[in-house]
């Protein structure tokens, strides 16, 4: 065996140890970097050159070590699990946040809620029944009636405001989705070129994996890996990223709550107008689910359903009170008219107004029973107990909203735990362990020193062979 072969073996050992030290240094430097996946040098032994045979030099040692690459210690299965759980968590978190905000606007139970305001309104009618014809109880009634109309309008406005806010958030989320998709397409091209040239694209792959997880959390994206190092990302069964090209998506539909019924908010491909994307997870899907229009079965978007409930309460209240009020007479004997009216061009909740302006216009008595009869006012005060009353409708709304909110919150908690578990499993294999890296550091350092010592020993042997052979005995 040539002595120079031993030098080459030692040199390869030095190179492998140095490469290992550099990778360990990279891992330690990025121990706290989000999305970084630890790396390891992959090596293999180099076999002895030549073939055994008649003229062979006998048994020969191998020719050192070969650095084959730098492996990224990620797990595709765990990465897919993280994306899947992130999509589910994003969907339920979005719904839970929206429902919690919506439930807060109800102000139930509480003195400022609609239930309390309805109670004050019916009590004011009872006060008029007890003291028909007097100015003070009539003034209280008109004040409470105005406050009730204002509370209905405020409740509807709160829903409308939240709808507009979520609509704007959806547009921003879609912009983030398009940005992430475009970035993945760019990284795909760079990664393909780097891998084809024999280089390491591990850090770029880390960036791409983080962006893919972001898309999954936003729109439930799934990933397919290609043999050339690129990935395809699909949402709703269609590719948003295909190799080094990306497709843009956009939101379409109503810009205001009152337009939702005729033009629901949806997601569509920018290059295929009218082609709706049926998302199967992610925050955008969760938000779209609460932005939907109301339907006859009461199972539409939560915001539109609550807005419709405010209208239903206002209509029920106006219809019931007006019906009884029209059957009565005022203290002067004049026939009673409508107590409530709804402003044209507005929803029932926003347009509800009180018609009477004073005690003389309140029909509190039964015709022929005298000017101070309060039987009609008493009958109106009992409307709260009637089937299908405004109180009953509102009670159902409050209970239904509470149940939906609690269910969404529970689902969000479960999904969050699942996502945390998946992320933990991923980190356990991909994150940097400083103790482990320190051990690797010492291992490569010792290997480098050993290879250097081998090279020194061979150098001394060569020096003896070249410079000292033949001078013995001189």
Q: For 184-193, how does the pLDDT look when each residue is reduced to its tens digit (9 = 90+)?
A: 999 999 999 9
Give backbone dihedrals phi and psi of 42, rounded to 5 degrees, phi first. -100, 130
Is-cis flag, bond preceding 335, omega within 30?
no
Return mean pLDDT, the chain. Answer: 89
Burial of 413 (0-12, 13-18, 19+ CB in 10 A): middle
pLDDT for the residue 48: 78
> Are 307 and 347 spatial neighbours (Cβ–Cβ below 8 Å)?
yes
Determine which of 10-19, 217-226, 459-468 has the lowest per-residue pLDDT on average. 459-468
pLDDT tens per residue across span 267-288: 999 988 888 888 889 999 999 9
Q: What is the mean pLDDT of residues 360-373?
A: 80
- How are beta strands 222-225 and 352-354 bridged, if at all? unpaired
Q: For 113-133, what is each residue's pLDDT tens digit?
A: 899 999 999 999 999 888 887
Per the CB < 8 A criterion, the answer to whether 185 and 248 are in contact is no
Q: Supply the pLDDT for residue 96.
A: 95
- State yes or no: pLDDT of 94 exceeds 70: yes
Q: Give the pLDDT score at 1.
A: 45
Within 8 A by CB and 6+ apart from 22, the residues are: none
Q: Residue 165 pLDDT more than 90? A: yes
- pLDDT at 50 (0 to 100): 58
Q: CA geometry: angle at 200 spanning 194 and 201, to 5°?
A: 65
Residue with tokens 């299908």: 388
Question: What is the per-residue pLDDT for 261?
Answer: 82
pTM of the full predicted structure? Answer: 0.85
Confidence at residue 187, expressed as pLDDT on a 0 to 100 scale:
96
Of all residues in the chain, what percent are helix, strand and coil, respectively (each to 5)?
A: 60, 10, 30
Judged against a pLDDT cut of 80, whether residue 83 lies above it is answered with yes
Average pLDDT (145-164) is: 94
Select the more confidently predicted residue: 76 or 57.
Answer: 76
Dist. CA 231–CA 211, nearest whole Å = 12
Examine the pLDDT at 459 and tell me if it is beyond 90.
Answer: no
- Mind listing the pLDDT tens digit for each residue in 315-366? 999 999 999 999 888 888 888 889 999 998 888 988 999 999 888 888 888 8
Nearest C-alpha neighbor of 220 from the set 80, 100, 34: 80
Write the pLDDT tens digit of every residue in 419-433.
999 999 988 888 898
Residues with Cβ within 8 Å of 78's Cβ and at least 6 positions away in sequence, in order, are 422, 425, 426, 429, 430
């Amino acid at each position: 065996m040539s002595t120079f072969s031993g030098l080459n073996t030692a040199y390869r050992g030095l190179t492998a140890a140095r490469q290992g030290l550099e990778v360990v240094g990279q891992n330690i430097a990025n121990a706290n970097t989000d999305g970084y996946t630890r790396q390891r040098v992959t090596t293999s032994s180099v076999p002895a050159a030549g073939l055994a045979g008649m003229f062979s030099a006998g048994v020969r040692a191998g020719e050192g070590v070969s650095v084959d690459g730098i492996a990224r210690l990620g797990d595709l299965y765990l990465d897919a699990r993280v994306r899947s759980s992130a999509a589910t968590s994003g969907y339920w978190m979005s719904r839970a946040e929206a429902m919690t905000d919506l439930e807060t606007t109800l102000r139930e139970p509480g003195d400022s809620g609609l239930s309390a305001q309805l109670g004050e309104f019916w009590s004011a009618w009872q006060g008029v029944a007890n003291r028909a014809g007097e100015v003070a109880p009539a003034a209280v009634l008109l004040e409470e009636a105005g406050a009730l109309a204002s509370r209905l309008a405020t409740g509807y406005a709160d829903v409308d405001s939240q709808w507009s806010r979520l609509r704007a958030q959806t547009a921003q989320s879609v912009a983030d989705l398009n940005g992430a998709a475009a970035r993945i397409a760019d990284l795909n091209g760079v990664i393909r070129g780097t891998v084809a040239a024999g280089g390491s694209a591990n850090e770029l792959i880390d960036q791409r994996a983080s962006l893919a997880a972001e898309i999954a959390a936003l729109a439930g994206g799934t990933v397919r890996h290609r043999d050339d190092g690129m990935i395809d990302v699909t949402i709703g069964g269609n590719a948003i990223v295909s190799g080094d090209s990306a497709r843009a998506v956009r939101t379409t539909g109503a810009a205001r709550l009152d337009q939702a019924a005729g033009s629901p908010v949806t997601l569509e491909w920018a290059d295929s107008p009218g082609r709706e994307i049926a998302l199967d997870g992610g925050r955008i899907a969760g938000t779209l689910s609460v932005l939907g229009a109301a339907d006859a079965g009461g199972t539409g978007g939560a915001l539109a359903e609550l807005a419709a409930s405010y209208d239903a309460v206002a209509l029920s209240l106006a219809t019931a009170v007006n019906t009884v009020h029209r059957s009565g007479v005022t203290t002067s004997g004049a026939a009673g008219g409508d107590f409530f009216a709804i402003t044209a061009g507005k929803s029932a909740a926003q347009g509800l107004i009180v018609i009477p302006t004073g005690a003389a216009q309140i029909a509190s008595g039964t015709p022929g029973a005298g000017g101070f009869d309060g039987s009609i006012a008493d009958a109106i005060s009992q409307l709260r107990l009637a089937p299908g009353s405004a109180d009953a409708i509102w009670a159902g709304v409050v209970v239904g909203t509470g149940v939906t909110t609690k269910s969404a919150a529970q689902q969000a908690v479960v999904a969050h735990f699942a996502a945390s578990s998946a992320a933990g499993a991923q980190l356990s294999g991909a994150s940097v362990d400083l103790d482990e890296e320190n051990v690797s550091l010492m291992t490569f350092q010792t290997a480098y020193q050993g290879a250097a010592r081998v090279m020194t020993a061979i150098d001394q042997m060569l020096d003896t062979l070249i410079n000292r052979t033949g001078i013995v005995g001189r």
